[in-house]
């Protein structure tokens, strides 16, 4: 059974005269920035810094392992029999791997603010998650605060749509969510910063192409002027000189005056760096993650990478976990919960990891086998024992006494 019985086609309008066209224009996010440049979602992705920020988030989230844990008493274990685990960690649908599904959902959410997927249920268990293009899905909050999702496969045929209940749509909301039930687009919120970077790139292209600024001027002696024939002859001479690469011959006392103007005069590089920093602030991405290494040093780049995990990825991890728990699992079942681990991104160098394992295994709060699993090594016999240093013990345990027959005395 196909989710969309009609072929999905893309289409957009540039002007609006009817309410439906106005709505479509708004949904296409054709917004004018402060400098007059129109910023669309598709046009924003053409900006390398915007695409880099969205790619960093989507690719980083897609590589993190997602498991469903079941807690029994004081222990927990991965519940591989869970339907949610099979959908999210093994096969979300017939054409995507778990990595591709998480990457596409995070990409759309970071790009347009929301990401949607149709849930195919088998009783009370999710069987399949099929992504829906963000532009094709329009959520609406009803009077009873429930949400109806209207899916329009072909945006040019507004009368062909399917209304889904909130139970049938997996909705991943982005961080910019002032309304609560639907997030705002980062592109729309940061359109001025994106338009500024577009203008800077356009200016830079014109500057390096040589057609943005005049390179020089001709100066005539005082009280002199050129006739039309002389002007046309001068123009032909200059054109021939440009094509042949030869030095032109100036007549009538003409003098060439060079006009020195460069990117440094316009502070093009500094303004460009400031605009890139503004783009990074929209998604809370550290500049070095999109190859902007102006302020990065050997001593602080490791801490910046840690900040990326703590302050950028962790909110996205919480968004995913809470959405899965609320929409795909029984909220009343506290024994099961989803968990996305960012441990792989926090791994240090070999020497640092060896010292950490040495302290953890002998701490004791980690078993040798658990440390081997973190290093992707096979388990061995006897590695499931929690070791305890000899100088540590239970403070409430009775103290051992030395037997009398073990005591020795010195004889004179």
For residues 315-333, average pLDDT: 92
pLDDT number for residue 183: 94
For residue range 79-97, what is the model confidence (pLDDT) as tens digits?
A: 999 999 999 999 999 999 9
CA 181, CA 138: separation in Å to the nearest integer? 12
CA 283, CA 308: separation in Å to the nearest integer? 11
| Distant-in-sequence contacts of 161-168, Cβ < 8 A, 24+ apart | 164/118, 167/119, 167/121, 168/118, 168/119, 168/121
Give the SS3 label for residue 76.
strand
CA angle 13, 17, 20 (to 5 degrees): 70
Concatenating the DSSP letter of every residue in 169-183 gives EEEEE-S--SSSSSP
CA 325, CA 114: separation in Å to the nearest integer? 18
CA 175, CA 218: separation in Å to the nearest integer? 58
- Whose tokens are 């791994």? That residue is 347
Query: Is residue 33 predicted with pLDDT exceeding 70?
Result: no
Residues above pLDDT 70, as percent of the chain: 77
Q: How far is CA 352 from CA 71, 299, 349, 356, in A?
A: 31, 16, 5, 6
Query: Is residue 150 predicted with pLDDT exceeding 50?
Result: yes
Query: Is residue 103 predicted with pLDDT exceeding 90?
Result: yes
pLDDT number for residue 266: 53
Q: How many CA atoms lie within 13 A of 390 on its CB side?
A: 0
pLDDT number for residue 328: 96
Helix orientation angle between 314-327 and 98-112, rounded to the nearest 10 degrees: 110
For residue range 194-229, what is the model confidence (pLDDT) as tens digits?
A: 998 888 888 777 666 655 555 677 777 766 777 888
Could you give the maximum distance between any two Cα atoms of the chain, in Å? 133
CA 328, CA 240: separation in Å to the nearest integer? 73
pLDDT number for residue 12: 47
pLDDT number for residue 258: 74
Give the chain's length: 412
More confident residue, 411 or 296: 296
pTM above 0.75, yes or no: no
Confidence band, pLDDT 50/70/90 cuts, at residue 312? very high
Query: Is residue 405 predicted with pLDDT exceeding 70?
Result: no
CA 377, CA 365: separation in Å to the nearest integer? 19
pLDDT number for residue 132: 95
Residue ranges of E strands in 241-347: 255-258, 336-340
pLDDT number for residue 268: 67
Q: Are 116 and 166 in contact (CB under 8 A)?
A: no
Residue 117's H or E segment, with its range, is strand 114-122
Considering the chain, what is the average pLDDT of its residues? 81
For residue range 268-305, what is the model confidence (pLDDT) as tens digits?
A: 677 888 889 999 999 999 998 998 888 777 667 777 88
Cross-sheet strand order for the sheet of 137-141:
137-141, 147-151, 162-165
CA 174, CA 220: separation in Å to the nearest integer? 64
CB burial string 311-324: b at 16+ within 10 A, e below: ebbeebbebbeebb
More confident residue, 407 or 59: 59
């Amino acid at each position: 059974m196909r989710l969309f019985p009609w072929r999905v086609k893309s289409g957009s309008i540039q002007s609006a005269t009817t309410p439906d066209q106005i709505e479509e224009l708004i949904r296409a996010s054709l917004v004018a920035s402060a400098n007059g440049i129109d910023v669309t979602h598709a046009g924003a992705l053409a900006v390398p810094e915007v695409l880099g920020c969205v790619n960093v988030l989507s690719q980083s989230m897609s590589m993190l392992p997602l498991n469903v844990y079941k807690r029994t008493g004081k222990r927990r274990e991965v519940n591989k029999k869970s339907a949610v685990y099979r959908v999210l960690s093994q096969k979300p649908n017939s054409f995507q791997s778990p990595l591709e599904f998480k990457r596409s959902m995070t990409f759309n959410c970071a790009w347009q603010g929301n990401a949607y997927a149709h849930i195919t249920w088998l009783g009370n268990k999710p069987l399949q998650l099929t992504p829906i293009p963000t532009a094709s899905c329009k959520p609406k909050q009803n009077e009873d605060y429930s949400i109806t999702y209207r899916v329009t496969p072909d945006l040019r045929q507004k009368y062909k749509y399917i209304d889904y209940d909130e139970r049938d749509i997996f909705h991943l909301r982005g961080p910019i969510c002032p309304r609560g039930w639907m997030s705002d687009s980062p592109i729309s919120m940061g359109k001025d910063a994106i338009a500024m970077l577009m203008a800077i790139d356009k200016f830079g292209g014109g500057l390096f192409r040589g057609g943005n600024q005049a390179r020089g001027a001709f100066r005539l002696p005082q009280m002199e002027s050129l006739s039309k024939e002389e002007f046309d002859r001068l123009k032909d001479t200059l054109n021939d000189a440009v094509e042949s690469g030869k030095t032109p011959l100036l007549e009538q006392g003409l003098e060439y005056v060079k006009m020195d103007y460069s990117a440094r005069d316009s502070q093009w590089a500094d303004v460009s760096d400031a605009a890139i920093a503004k783009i990074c602030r929209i998604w809370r991405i550290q500049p070095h993650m999109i190859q902007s290494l102006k302020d990065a040093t050997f001593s602080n780049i490791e801490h910046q990478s840690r900040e990326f995990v703590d302050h950028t990825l962790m909110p996205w991890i919480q968004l995913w976990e809470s959405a899965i728990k609320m929409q795909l699992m029984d909220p009343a079942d506290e024994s099961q919960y989803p968990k996305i681990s960012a441990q792989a991104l926090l791994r240090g160098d070999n020497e640092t990891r060896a010292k950490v394992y040495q302290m953890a295994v002998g701490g004791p709060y980690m078993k040798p086998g658990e440390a081997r699993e973190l290093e992707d090594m096979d388990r061995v016999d006897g590695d499931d024992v929690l070791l305890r240093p000899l100088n540590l013990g239970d403070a409430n345990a009775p103290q051992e006494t030395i037997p009398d027959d073990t005591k020795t005395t010195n004889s004179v």
